[in-house]
Amino acid sequence: MNHRPNPTALRGARALTAQSIAHPRWRHTVCLAMLACAAFANSPALAQRDYTDLPVVKEGKTIKISPHVYVIPDENRRGVPNVGIVVGSRATLIIDPGMGLKSGQAVLREAAKVSKGGELYLVTTHIHPEHTTGELAFPPHTKIVRAVEQQRDIQEAGMKWVAEFSARSAELADLLKEVKGFREPTETFDREKTLDLGGVRIRLIWLGHGHTLGDTAIFIEGDAVVFSGDLAMKKAFPAYTAPQSSVDKWLASLDAMAALHPSQVVGAHYGMGDASIISAYREFLTSLRARVVALKAQGKSSDETAVTLRNEFAAKYPDWDQPLRVHLLATRAYSQLP
């Protein structure tokens, strides 16, 4: 165990990343428009999002949101997460290091500005490449802590996700080209793990199977901040990406996060806010479930139900992004509910 301050590790590959990010190659606009259209064509909320540059985490944007917690906001850029930096007296924790080596390098340089040195921990809210693959930039001594189910996600589908993202454009393929696999965790946990960073305690709580098998919430106890991953995001419909996902499991994860009584909620994407981000998801999923049960009881087919509810909820939540996601949520609920 090395408890000595080690700020040089955080400063890592500063020169390389600064040069890469400034390079005009990363400023192409076409690829991200394609990325957006491929997945979310016809989304009325598309104009709200910024697709004009590659999803590399930006530097110089870090904000402090509580005594120990900093966030590099995603600024509404697709493929970029809200990155968390939690600073204790003897260790620093990074939450979701962004996509690709260059994002990870940018995150490390931002962390070096606020860290007090010591150990470096890395935790990811879920498997998807924009949350995980920045890990490549992290020094070998980094303590990577993962839920067992997130490790299972990685083993079963990790590189499939990287390949799927890489196939979206030449620029994304370039951004992910160094990713040949996922790093082995230093430590895994089943349901919950507590970290003491020195003056600040963190609870890592496995809450799958909602967005993925390995969904993990990170609660910074004294600061009452929760990083909710894709399980609760501000004004964006939720997405299933694992066959095991269900409305009931997702609702249970929202109950667990609400029980923490967070004063601030940082979703993996979109804006930050208070616990109403969690209750809004609860309200949406509860009413979706009730409508699926009702339409099924009326003899509607799965497809009819999905189309009806997609339109219904897009109208009910006009400022929520990605309404097409409701189709899969409704289809899945139809097959799982009475």
Contacts to Zn ion by CB under 5 A: 128, 230
Q: In what order do the strands lie in the sheet with 143-147?
A: 63-64, 69-72, 83-87, 91-95, 119-123, 143-147, 187-189
Per the structure block, which two tokens stand in for 188? 């895994």
Partners of 220 in beta bridges = 202, 225
Residue 108 phi/psi, 5-degree rounding, is -60, -40
Least CB distance from residue 127 to Zn ion, whole Å?
8
Name 69's bridge partners: 86
CB of 87 to Zn ion, least distance (A): 26
Residue 99 phi, psi (nearest 5): -100, 125
Tell me the closest approach of the beta carbon of residue 36 to Zn ion, in angstroms.
Answer: 15
List Cα–Cα distances, 2 to 7, 107, 225, 230, in angstroms. 13, 22, 28, 33
Distance of closest approach, residue 208 Cβ to Zn ion, in angstroms: 12
Nearer to Zn ion by Cβ, of 120 and 239: the residue is: 239
Q: Identity (one letter) of the amino acid at 237?
A: F
Least CB distance to Zn ion at residue 200 (A): 26
With tokens 């890395």, the residue in question is 122
Instruction: Give the β-pairing of 201-206 and 143-147.
Output: unpaired
Measured from the CB of residue 268, what is the shortest distance to Zn ion in angstroms? Answer: 7
Q: How far is the CB of 163 from Zn ion (least distance, A)?
A: 16
Number of H helices, E strands in the chain: 11, 13
Coil, strand or helix at 262: coil
For 88, the token pair is 């204790």
Given the complex with Zn ion, which of 102 and 128 has the nearer CB atom? 128
The conformation of residue 322, written as its DSSP 8-state character, comes to -
Nearer of residues 118 and 210 to Zn ion, judged by Cβ = 210
Is the link from the previous residue into 126 a cis peptide, with omega within 30 of 0?
no
When the beta carbons of 223 and 321 are compared against Zn ion, the nearer one is 321
Closest distance to Zn ion from the beta carbon of 311 (Å) = 25
Judged by CB, which is closer to Zn ion: 153, or 230? 230
- Whether the CA torsion 165, 171, 173, 178 is positive or negative: it is negative
Residue of this chain nearest to Zn ion (CB atom): 128
- Asked if residue 162 lies in contact with residue 178, where contact means CB atoms within 8 angstroms, the answer is no
For Zn ion, the closer of residues 109 and 146 by Cβ is: 146
Q: Which is nearer to Zn ion, 55 or 88 (CB)?
A: 55
Closest to Zn ion by CB, 73 vs 79, is: 79
